[in-house]
């Protein structure tokens, strides 16, 4: 696992955008995994900027969402599909038909997860998955105690996540759906490169558990320790509880040029 520390979220966004750009330039059929939440927004803004100013193109790309609320009206501005369209994909040249998200199968709910897994598999699998982390260590909507081998399925949100996400629902916790459809931890671990971004003191405990804690279902993000290619991008505040902070700084400073994105 590579841990990169920076003082500003914008520096982290540039590093993540370099990885995405390298993928877009090197693959004829790049497949991106997109996360919602506030953490990845600087990455999306940096990519929009590169699309506008340098012509970075997403026209051959496919994108998959990590998760979605269940029970919101179609087109509801808080649905993760609407959020990602509004914050990111409507500003780039990704074809609208190339964006997919988990959707409940109304006739046969049990098929909802496998349907989505099949779509991802048909695309050839996700090359680069952007991730945030919940303050309780959840990834996507895999709440603590989620199986580390889980696949896309329905989950019930914890009170903590409802409270954290109420800010997107006019601070009305009762308006936040209790149920979601989310890629499983096992699904996420199949992406070829995981890029997780976290900023601010509210993420410090989750980042320490993710990077240095034991691998445990009580911190689903700790399963990233089992993946061969993970980049964790953190600002100083989110990194504040990491014991090996100085080592991560030194390892990044001495990173061989050939390992940098785009070299
Ligand atoms: C939600 C999303 C996660 C996201 C998390 C953190 O629960 N399902 O994918 O990582 O929130 O969000 P934020 O980046 O806004 O702190």
Q: Quote the pLDDT of residue 258.
A: 81
Enter the pTM of the model: 0.95
**Coil, helix or strand at residue 32:** strand
Render pLDDT for 158-203 as a digit per residue (tens, 0 to 9): 998 899 899 999 999 999 999 999 999 999 999 999 999 999 999 9
Q: Quote the pLDDT of residue 106.
A: 83
Render pLDDT for 101-131 as a digit per residue (tens, 0 to 9): 999 888 898 999 999 999 999 999 999 999 9
Is 136 a catalytic site residue? Answer: yes
pLDDT band at 9 (very low <50, low <70, confident <90, very high): very high
Instruction: Note whether 221 and 206 are within 8 A (CB).
Output: yes
Token pair in block for residue 73: 């009206």
pLDDT band at 139 (very low <50, low <70, confident <90, very high): very high
Query: Pocket residues for ligand 1 (CB within 6 Å)?
Result: 35-39, 66-67, 132-134, 140-141, 161, 165
* Active-site residue, selected from the candidate residues 19, 46, 117, 138: 138
Residues composing the chain: 263
Gap between the Cα atoms of 238 and 241, Å rounded: 7
């Amino acid at each position: 696992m590579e841990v990169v520390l920076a003082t500003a979220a914008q520096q982290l966004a540039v590093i993540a955008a370099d990885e995405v750009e390298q993928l877009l330039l090197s693959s004829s059929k790049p497949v991106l995994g997109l996360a919602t939440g506030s953490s990845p927004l600087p990455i999306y803004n940096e990519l929009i900027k590169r699309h506008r100013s340098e012509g970075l193109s997403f026209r051959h790309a496919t994108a998959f969402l990590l998760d979605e609320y269940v029970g919101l009206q179609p087109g509801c501005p808080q649905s993760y599909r609407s959020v990602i369209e509004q914050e990111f994909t409507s500003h780039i040249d990704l074809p609208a038909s190339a964006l997919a998200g988990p959707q409940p199968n109304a006739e046969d709910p049990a098929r909802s997860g496998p349907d989505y897994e099949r779509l991802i598999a048909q695309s050839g699998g996700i090359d680069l998955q952007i991730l945030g982390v919940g303050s309780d260590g959840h990834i996507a909507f895999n709440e603590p105690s989620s199986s580390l081998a889980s696949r896309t399925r329905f989950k019930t949100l914890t009170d903590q996540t409802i409270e954290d996400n109420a800010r997107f629902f006019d601070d009305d916790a009762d308006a936040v759906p209790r149920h979601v459809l989310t890629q499983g931890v096992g699904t996420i671990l199949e992406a070829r490169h995981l890029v997780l971004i976290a900023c601010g003191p509210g993420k410090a405990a989750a980042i320490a558990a993710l990077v240095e804690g034991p691998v445990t279902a009580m911190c689903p993000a700790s399963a990233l320790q089992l993946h061969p290619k993970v980049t964790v991008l953190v600002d100083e505040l989110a990194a504040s509880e990491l014991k090996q902070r100085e080592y991560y700084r030194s390892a990044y400073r001495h990173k061989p040029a050939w390992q940098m994105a785009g070299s």
